[in-house]
């Protein structure tokens, strides 16, 4: 579904991602791990076309993303949930979710009902402004916005960072459910090894912009975590 | 005059609020609107009321050409847009001077709006009353466009977070181009409507745009309400001080009051409050 062949990605002239290759199968769950500043966020931003330029090849369902502008990538079925959530603060919850539908190829503008079954709190706060929600609620809103476009692939950047523990569990369960029950392919950038191990079919460890290690979910041992993820 | 000012300032405020572009060619869009109205009246005999939609389209197209041709390359260099739009303004002025000549042109008032009405002891011409209502309608229309339509929602999304908007399928450059064209079109309408009140010359826009900038600053950048209130204030204050002293001293008094206001309230009357 998503395939990178010796991918490079640049900010200005500095290559942040260097010679990265991977293949992500439809319906799979991939975790991207690594210390701070090794290029995990840049990898997701590269998939959305938000860096200054790329080298190598990047394919989504056979389409060359190197030739696709950012605004055309959403409608192909890539839902991006960025670090820090980046919901629109002065939009109501409703407007934020409707914004997700702008990436639908079929131009429908209704919000699918299952979103409110996943996140009942959003139905309750439908007319509040996004900026007035708590961090956890904003994260739920960011996921809801991506779901409104009916994505085939979800890119999640540290969705549980800075969120109160009782909501962390809830968000993790929703992400698992989206993958296992709705068959949405997930790429998750994560610091939490336990969740990555529980959820992933495969993991990719990045170090200094390169792939340090890959493997299946069960192979993500504590030694690997100690070696590559602790400071 | 306050109503004309409102329409000019509205376009300016939208363009600045949406793209951070200080459009110094805005006065020339007003001038183009006035000449379009003159053209349509002189050669086709259209009353300005009939030509309004045409003028809006013509000037909006001119705005679109300016955005596509020049401004869009400069979004990441805001200071350079000031210089570039100023240059465009001069070019437009000279083109009109070469094409039409620099003599003043006159456009007749629509005959259905001839005559005066006396309200309580104050006599006002029908045309000016029409202008007041028309500009309020334009304000309401703009508010509706920005807050109740899909285009407006996309525009507000791009203003607040361009990157994420693009990730969700919004073509920011289209939104920018259409916004610029809309702002230019509003200036064009204002230019067409001002023709019965002042004579049409290639440099007429410069005078109007200064006041429009004052309005945007006084009202608070990015606020429709502020633009509306401030255009009323600046327009009325100019009239009041000119009546009290004379035109020149009146002007001085208005500018002094604005300097004082900005000294104590630099964010303007109704700044756009953001919580991020």
CATH number at residue A105: 3.40.50.300
Over residues B40-91, the pLDDT tens digits come to 999 998 988 999 999 999 999 999 999 999 999 998 888 899 999 999 999 9
A230 assigned to some structural domain: no
∠ CA A111-A117-A120, nearest 5°, is 95
Quote the tokens at residue A57: 């090849």
Over residues A30-61, the pLDDT tens digits come to 999 998 889 999 999 999 999 999 999 999 99
Q: What confidence score (pLDDT) does residue B248 get? A: 86
| Percent of the residues in chain A that have a pLDDT greater than 90, as a whole number | 77
Q: What confidence score (pLDDT) does residue B273 get? A: 58
Task: For residue B185, count other CB atoms closer than 10 A to its CB.
Answer: 24
Q: What confidence score (pLDDT) does residue B211 get? A: 87
> Which regions of B58-169 does DSSP assign to beta strands (E)?
116-119, 122-125
The ipTM estimated for the assembled molecules is 0.90
Cα–Cα nearest to B9, from B236, B229, B238, B227? B227
CA of B17: how far to CAs of A26, B11, B153, B154, B180, in Å? 42, 10, 14, 14, 11
CA of B205: how far to CAs of A129, B100, B103, in Å? 40, 16, 15
Cβ–Cβ of B167/A88 closer than 8 Å?
Answer: no
From the candidates B169, B175, B176, B273, which should be mutated to test the interface with A, based on the most A CB atoms within 10 A? B169
The kind and range of the H/E element at A196 are helix A193-199
For A204, phi and psi rounded to 5 degrees?
Answer: -125, 125
Asked whether residue A74 carries a pLDDT value surpassing 80, the answer given is yes
- Judging contacts by C-beta atoms under 8 Å, the chain B residues touching residue A69 are 166
Over residues A97-121, the pLDDT tens digits come to 999 999 998 888 999 999 999 999 9
Answer yes or no: are the C-beta atoms of A166 and A144 closer than 8 Å: no
- Judging contacts by C-beta atoms under 8 Å, the chain B residues touching residue A131 are 275-276
A81 assigned to some structural domain: yes
Cβ–Cβ of B157/A91 closer than 8 Å?
Answer: yes
Determine the distance in angstroms separating the CA of A36 from the nearest CA of chain B, rounded to an integer: 22
Strand A53-60: give its sheet, edge to edge: A14-24, A2-11, A53-60, A63-64
Q: What share of chain B is helix, strand, coil (3-state, %, to 5)?
A: 75, 5, 20
Quote the tokens at residue A91: 């939009």
Axis-axis angle for helices B48-69, B172-194 (nearest 10): 140
Residues of chain B scoring pLDDT < 70: 222, 272-276
A119 assigned to some structural domain: yes
Q: What confidence score (pLDDT) does residue B272 get? A: 65
- Judging contacts by C-beta atoms under 8 Å, the chain A residues touching residue B169 are 71-72, 74-75, 102-104, 149
From the candidates B149, B163, B168, B176, which should be mutated to test the interface with A, based on the most A CB atoms within 10 A? B168
Q: How many domains does chain A have?
A: 1
A228 assigned to some structural domain: no
∠ CA B238-B233-B51, nearest 5°, is 85
Q: What confidence score (pLDDT) does residue B275 get? A: 41
Asked whether residue A169 carries a pLDDT value surpassing 80, the answer given is yes
A20 assigned to some structural domain: yes
Distance CA B208, CA B12 (A): 12
A226 assigned to some structural domain: no
DSSP secondary structure of B6-61: HHHHHHHHHHHHHH----TTHHHHHHHHHHHHHHHHHHH---HHHHHHHHHHHHHH
A15 assigned to some structural domain: yes
Quote the tokens at residue A179: 């993958």
Q: What confidence score (pLDDT) does residue B276 get? A: 36
Distance CA B223, CA B202 (A): 30
The answer to whether residue B76 neighbours chain A at the CB level (below 8 Å) is: no
CA A57 to chain centre: 20
Cα–Cα nearest to A40, from A192, A194, A169? A192
| Domain region containing A190 | 2-220
A190 assigned to some structural domain: yes
- Judging contacts by C-beta atoms under 8 Å, the chain A residues touching residue B274 are 89-90
The whole-model pTM stands at 0.89
């Amino acid at each position: 579904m998503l395939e990178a062949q010796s991918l490079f990605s640049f900010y200005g002239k500095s290559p942040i991602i260097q010679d990265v290759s991977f293949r992500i199968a439809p319906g799979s769950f991939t975790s991207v791990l690594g210390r701070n500043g090794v290029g995990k966020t840049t990898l997701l931003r590269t998939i959305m076309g938000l860096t200054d330029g790329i080298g190598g090849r990047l394919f989504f369902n056979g389409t060359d993303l190197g030739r696709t502008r950012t605004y055309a990538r959403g409608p192909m079925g890539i839902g991006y949930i960025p670090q820090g959530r980046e919901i629109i603060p002065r939009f109501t919850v409703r407007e934020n979710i409707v914004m997700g539908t702008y990436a639908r190829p079929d131009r429908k503008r209704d919000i699918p009902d299952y979103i409110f079954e996943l996140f009942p709190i959003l139905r309750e706060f439908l007319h509040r402004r996004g900026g007035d929600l708590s961090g956890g609620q904003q994260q739920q809103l960011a996921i809801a916005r991506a779901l409104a476009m009916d994505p085939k692939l979800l890119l999640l950047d540290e969705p549980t960072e800075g969120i109160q523990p009782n909501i962390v569990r809830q968000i993790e369960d929703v992400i698992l459910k989206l993958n296992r029950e709705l068959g949405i392919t997930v790429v998750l950038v994560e610091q939490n090894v336990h969740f990555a191990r529980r959820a992933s079919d495969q993991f990719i460890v990045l170090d200094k912009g390169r792939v340090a290690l890959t493997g299946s979910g069960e192979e993500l041992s504590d030694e690997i975590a100690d070696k590559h993820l602790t400071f | 005059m306050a109503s004309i000012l409102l329409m000019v300032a509205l376009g300016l405020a939208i363009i600045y609020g949406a793209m951070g572009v200080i459009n110094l060619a805005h006065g020339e869009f007003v001038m183009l609107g006035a000449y379009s109205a003159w053209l349509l009246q002189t050669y086709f005999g259209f009353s300005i009321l009939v030509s309004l939609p045409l003028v809006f389209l013509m000037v909006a197209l001119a705005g679109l050409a300016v955005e596509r041709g020049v401004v869009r390359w400069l979004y990441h260099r805001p200071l350079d847009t000031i210089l570039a739009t100023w240059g465009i303004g001069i070019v437009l002025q000279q083109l009109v001077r070469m094409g039409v000549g620099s003599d003043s042109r006159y456009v007749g008032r629509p005959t259905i709006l001839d005559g005066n009405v006396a309200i309580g002891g104050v006599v006002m011409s029908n045309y000016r009353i029409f202008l007041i209502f028309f500009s309020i309608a334009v304000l309401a229309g703009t508010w509706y466009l920005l807050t109740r339509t899909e285009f407006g929602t996309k525009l507000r999304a791009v203003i607040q977070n361009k990157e994420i908007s693009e990730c969700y399928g919004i073509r920011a450059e289209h939104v920018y181009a259409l916004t610029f064209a809309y702002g230019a079109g509003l200036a064009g309408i204002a230019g067409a409507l001002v023709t019965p009140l002042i004579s049409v010359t290639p440099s007429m826009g410069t005078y109007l745009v200064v006041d429009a900038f004052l309005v945007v600053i006084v009202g608070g950048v990015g606020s429709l309400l502020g633009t509306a209130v401030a255009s009323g204030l600046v327009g009325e204050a100019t009239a009041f001080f000119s009546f009290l002293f004379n035109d020149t001293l009146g002007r001085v008094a208005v500018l002094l009051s604005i300097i004082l206001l900005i000294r104590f309230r630099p964010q303007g009357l109704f700044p756009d409050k953001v919580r991020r």
